[in-house]
Amino acid sequence: MSKLFASYIIKDLELKNRIVMAPMCMYSASDDGKVTDWHIIHYASRAVGGVGLIIQEATAVESRGRISSNDLGIWDDSHIDGLKRIVDTVKSNGAKIGIQLGHAGRKCEAESEKIIAPSPIAFNEEYRVPDEMAKEDIKTVVEAFKAAAQRAKQAGYDVLEIHGAHGYLINQFLSPVTNKRADEYGGSPENRARILKEIIRAVRDVWPKEKPLMMRVTAEDYVDGGNHPDDLAELINLVKEYGIDLIDVSSGGVVSVAPKAFQGYQVKFAEIIKEKTALPVVAGGLVIDPNMAEEILQNNRADLVFIGRALLRNPYWPLQADYELSNEANWPVQYERGRLRKR
């Protein structure tokens, strides 16, 4: 069997394969952040299609932490029932599921919200200038992540992912481009990582120790003076002892600079993070070819591979990948008659 379709165990969780669906915002929630039928169909389709681990889109820990007014929320107990519908449907169709807890910070575009950030710097001329966070604001956000983790536990998620990437709030603290604070939350790497450390510790107080805790990171800011893979490895090493089990390696989003994207363009970043932190990593970045995914794993460049846009185009990408690689994975019994077979 190909390595892409080999099982993977982390903590008490066993994945049937190493295909991870990357978290991708659907902008389809109700105005109060609640799940709609779209989410049920969307995630269930990828579970039926053979994904091993689905990471649900960024789900806001505060109303002001939404990217848009139609993002999913987990800031209130009223969100739990809808989220549990996603969890139960995905699990009943053979996949494991994680939730990405996020806070947009200065990139919140919900017009009704007052936006916050480590420093009062707008993302670009089209965005509002955020309020600089007071220490009380920082404490409130840390507690919001903790409460969200408790709700995620109640909803039954297998994995929890802290969103520390793509220029959102945690990433805004980690990057020297967006964090110009002069207090204990700015300046040195230790200070810029302080809020992340506090969030991890708070989340781990309520998230079961036997369940994996992931973190998504932006390994490359694509701007002078920003973070690069070695910098991110240093920041991760400052906080990993507080309970991080797996790093999901992405890039960009801190400034309005589009990276030069090509197939596998972020995989090298994942290799560096893996080597310098000694933590397992998820790699990706326009990985659309099953043979590329297999090469990444066979050469130990990463432990898992995330697939994003390819799964939007084709919910059954894993079934097609199985045909191209080993043709040994189990297909849904309902689809067995349509199975592709090599002669």
3-state secondary structure of 342: coil
Does the pLDDT of residue 174 top 90, yes or no?
Answer: yes
HEC-encoded secondary structure of 117-167: ECCCCCCCCCCCCCEECCHHHHHHHHHHHHHHHHHHHHHCCCEEEEEECCC
Is residue 339 one of the residues assigned to a domain?
A: no
Is residue 280 one of the residues assigned to a domain?
A: yes
Residues 212, 11: contact at Cβ < 8 Å?
Answer: yes
Residues 149, 160: contact at Cβ < 8 Å?
Answer: yes
Segment 291-312 shows an average pLDDT of 98
Strand 281-283 relative to strand 304-307: parallel, antiparallel, unpaired?
Answer: parallel
Segment 166-188 shows an average pLDDT of 98
How high is the pLDDT of residue 328?
85
Does the pLDDT of residue 342 top 80, yes or no?
Answer: no
Residues 43, 99: contact at Cβ < 8 Å?
Answer: no
Distance, in Å, from the CA atom of 208 to the CA atom of 271, rounded to the nearest integer, reads 28
Mean pLDDT, the chain, rounded, equals 97
How high is the pLDDT of residue 326?
86
Residue-wise pLDDT for 218-266, tens only, equals 999 999 999 999 999 999 999 999 999 999 999 999 999 889 999 999 9
Q: What are phi and psi of 213, to 5 degrees?
A: -120, 120
Segment 266-271 shows an average pLDDT of 98
How high is the pLDDT of residue 184?
98
Is residue 341 one of the residues assigned to a domain?
A: no
Q: Is 12 or 327 the better-scoring residue by pLDDT?
A: 12
Give the total number of structural domains in the chain.
Answer: 1
How high is the pLDDT of residue 280?
98
Distance, in Å, from the CA atom of 257 to the CA atom of 55, rounded to the nearest integer, reads 26
Distance, in Å, from the CA atom of 74 to the CA atom of 83, rounded to the nearest integer, reads 8
How high is the pLDDT of residue 329?
87
Does the pLDDT of residue 118 top 90, yes or no?
Answer: yes
Q: Is 254 or 1 the better-scoring residue by pLDDT?
A: 254
3-state secondary structure of 55: strand
How high is the pLDDT of residue 258?
86
Q: Calculate the alpha carbon distances from 29 to 44, 256, 313 in Å.
A: 16, 26, 21
Is residue 301 one of the residues assigned to a domain?
A: yes
Structural domain span for residue 221? 3-328
Residue-wise pLDDT for 29-75, tens only, equals 999 999 999 999 999 999 999 999 999 999 999 999 999 999 999 99
Is residue 46 one of the residues assigned to a domain?
A: yes
Is residue 183 one of the residues assigned to a domain?
A: yes
How high is the pLDDT of residue 244?
98
Is residue 255 one of the residues assigned to a domain?
A: yes
CATH of the domain at 183: 3.20.20.70
How high is the pLDDT of residue 343?
63
Distance, in Å, from the CA atom of 1 to the CA atom of 20, rounded to the nearest integer, reads 18
